[in-house]
């Protein structure tokens, strides 16, 4: 909310109540005695309202509750299928809705109440309105057209890609994936050859299959079946997998939900199995 809008709403509230809630000067603003009293009452009202909502969620029947899970594309491809299977065994009465989108769109939808939980790339800036639980750093693989010379290698180094045309996402909509590619090349003292930008992983993989270029993608993307595409792990100088794409579980801070807690527990207990299921 803009400061001007906040000030206007406070003045309207003071007019409606017929009391001053704040003492204002050129240097600071502080609550009046009436303001302090109202603050305590409001805190009690908000706590009571949250308890009402929590009880309603707890006692709702399956037909009254749709549990909505958001996920970025790679998590939707590699993690959600097995997770949904496991979650349904624990909560068979619950109807699930799965929403796949970018982090930049999932977080606002969750804040508005349109999602209950989401698998996202955690944003660089602090978001106190959300709770983030780090899960893992997803390994990166190189998507190559089937006839590409690099498919003969069992693993790929960044240096192998110095003259290879690449397909990358835009920095605005997919900052983690874009900056991963740029940073890896910068660290190697190389400049990537950008052949094409594309947004969705499915589109990127299909472009690779059409021999437009290669692409650095999250490992779970290798589950996208395109006949003309081969995936190879990206490794560093030591031969270790390059794992720099963070994945986190996110929900609105300060809220309670027993179903959300059950799903989070399943993820924690089975994360190693979900993570390994996408190995190439």
Kindly report, residue by residue over 23-82, the tens digit of the pLDDT.
888 888 889 988 888 888 888 888 888 777 766 666 555 456 899 999 999 999 999 999
pLDDT tens figures, 141-171: 999 999 999 999 999 999 999 999 999 988 8
Distance separating alpha carbons of residues 264 and 280, to the nearest angstrom = 26
Alpha carbon 273 to chain centroid, angstroms? 20
pTM over 0.75: no
Cβ-contact 137, 145 below 8 angstroms: no
In order of 3, 28, 77, 138, the CA distances from 73 in angstroms are 37, 47, 6, 13
Distance separating alpha carbons of residues 274 and 175, to the nearest angstrom = 24
Q: What is the distance between the terminal CA atoms of the chain, rounded to a whole angstrom?
A: 47
Ramachandran angles phi, psi of 41, nearest 5°: -65, -40
Alpha carbon 257 to chain centroid, angstroms? 19
Mean pLDDT of 83-91: 95
Distance separating alpha carbons of residues 183 and 185, to the nearest angstrom = 5
Give yes or no for residue 244 having a pLDDT over 60.
Answer: yes
């Amino acid at each position: 909310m803009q400061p001007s809008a906040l000030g206007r709403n406070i003045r309207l509230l003071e007019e409606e109540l017929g009391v001053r809630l704040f003492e204002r000067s050129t240097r600071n603003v502080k609550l009046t005695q009436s303001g302090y009293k109202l603050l305590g009452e409001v805190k009690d009202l908000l706590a009571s309202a949250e308890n009402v909502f929590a009880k309603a969620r707890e006692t709702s029947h399956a037909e009254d509750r749709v549990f909505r899970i958001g996920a970025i594309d790679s998590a939707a491809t590699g993690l959600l299928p097995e997770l949904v299977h496991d979650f349904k065994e624990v909560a068979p009465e619950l109807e699930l809705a799965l929403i796949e989108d970018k982090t930049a769109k999932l977080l606002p939808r969750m804040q508005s109440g349109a999602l209950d939980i989401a698998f996202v790339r955690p944003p660089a800036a602090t978001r106190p309105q959300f709770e983030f639980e780090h899960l893992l750093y997803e390994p990166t693989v190189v998507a190559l057209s089937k006839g590409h010379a690099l498919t003969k290698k069992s693993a790929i180094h960044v240096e192998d890609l110095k003259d290879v045309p690449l397909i990358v996402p835009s920095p605005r909509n997919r900052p983690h994936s874009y900056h991963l590619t740029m940073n890896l090349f910068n660290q190697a003292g190389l400049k990537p050859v950008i052949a094409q930008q594309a947004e969705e992983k499915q589109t990127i993989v299909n472009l690779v299959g059409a021999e437009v270029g290669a692409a650095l993608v999250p490992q779970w993307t290798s589950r996208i079946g395109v006949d003309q595409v081969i995936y190879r792990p990206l490794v560093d100088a030591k031969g270790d997998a390059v794992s720099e794409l963070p994945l986190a579980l996110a929900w609105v801070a300060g809220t309670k939900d027993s179903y959300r807690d059950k799903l989070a527990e399943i993820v924690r207990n089975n994360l190693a199995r979900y993570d390994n299921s996408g190995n190439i």
